[in-house]
Amino acid sequence: MNIIEIENLTKRFKNNVALDNVSLTIRKGEVFGLLGPNGAGKTTLIRLLIGLIKPTSGTARIQYDGLGPFDIKKDMMKIRQKASLLPQEAEVYENLTAKENIMYYGQIYGNMPNGEVHQRTEDLIDMIGLRGRENDVTKEFSGGMKRKVLVARALVMDPDLIFLDEPTTGIDILGARTVRNLIKRLAKELHKTVILTTHDLTEVEELCDRVGILVKGKLAAIGTPDELEEQFTQAHLEDVFIGLTTGEGVLEGDLPTKPKRGVISRLLRRR
């Protein structure tokens, strides 16, 4: 089942076309990665899909199990009932503790009894690795710790559709692994749909079922990481990305045959 169907979506800011006639579908239960250089339109697409900004033209529909379809232009409140966003530039409430930050969000958006919000908050504190610091005010937290609070905050309402705009940016290696494992569990065990942006291609290889590469607001390529490497005859997703974003097209790869997936990940990790 498609949870999102995007049709000819365009967003213009004055003379600047941030998103240019993008059409794509997202399937329920997949982890979809949005890639692209700075300013490519990734955050704009996410903001449009969750109804924070309105498109200049085109539209998208969101359909949950037995609910919808909802139009992003007019059904923002209905979409938000089961969708959650970790914004790229989000901030914690610095005078609240980690636990209060997460619980507060659950009480506003959760649409669930207080006891359940409390239980989910406790579970998320463990899952994200903040146990022991949960009762400290977050103004005493490091940048990465604040980001972890924000990831937990985005999940407390138990959304079906989760937008994570650079979830692991600023989080240390171990913390990023924790967040990635959490994302995997959300999709594979709980059948949530996750749409994430990242500049980390190792993360993409590890997490994403499919990726879309945006270049100057246009969808330049879409597919599984393996399909993209094959389609552009490159051994590494990074080379596909560089070819598409430099505007020079994708050059033939040096390697005559495509190495196995594990080899690609190891090569990428070594950099």
Which residues contact ligand ATP (rule: CB under 6 A)?
13, 16, 18, 36, 38-44, 88
Closest to 268 (Cα-Cα) out of 231, 229, 232? 229
Q: Which does 40 bind (CB under 5 to 8 A by kind): ligand ATP, Mg ion, none?
A: ligand ATP
Asked whether the beta carbons of 60 and 5 are under 8 A apart, the reply is yes
Asked whether the beta carbons of 76 and 51 are under 8 A apart, the reply is yes
Give the nearest distance from C-beta 29 to Mg ion in angstroms.
Answer: 24
- What is the footprint of Mg ion within residues 133-172 (CB under 5 A)? none
Give whichever of 27 and 54 is closer to ligand ATP, judged by the CB atom: 54
Binding residue count for Mg ion, defined by CB under 5 A: 3
Give the nearest distance from C-beta 35 to Mg ion in angstroms.
Answer: 11
Question: Alpha-carbon torsion 212, 163, 73, 18, what sign?
Answer: negative
Q: Give the C-alpha separation, 211 to 244, whole Å.
A: 14
Give whichever of 210 and 218 is closer to ligand ATP, judged by the CB atom: 218
Give whichever of 16 and 257 is closer to ligand ATP, judged by the CB atom: 16
Q: Helix, strand, coil shares of the chain as percentages rounded to 5?
A: 40, 25, 35
Q: Give the C-alpha separation, 250 to 198, whole Å.
A: 21
Give the nearest distance from C-beta 214 to ligand ATP in angstroms.
Answer: 6
Q: Pairing mode, if any, of strands 57-64 and 193-197?
A: unpaired
Q: Is the peptide bond before 69 cis (omega within 30 degrees of 0)?
A: yes
Q: Which does 106 bind (CB under 5 to 8 A by kind): ligand ATP, Mg ion, none?
A: none
Residue 43 engages Mg ion in binding (rule: CB under 5 A): yes
Applying CB under 5 A, the span of 6-14, 16-24, 83-91, 143-151 interacting with Mg ion comes to 83-91
Dig out the tokens for 267 from the structure: 């090569």
Give the nearest distance from C-beta 33 to Mg ion in angstroms.
Answer: 13
Tokens 């994403």 correspond to 208
Give whichever of 44 and 178 is closer to ligand ATP, judged by the CB atom: 44
Give the nearest distance from C-beta 45 to Mg ion in angstroms.
Answer: 9
The contact set with Mg ion (CB under 5 A) reads: 42-43, 88
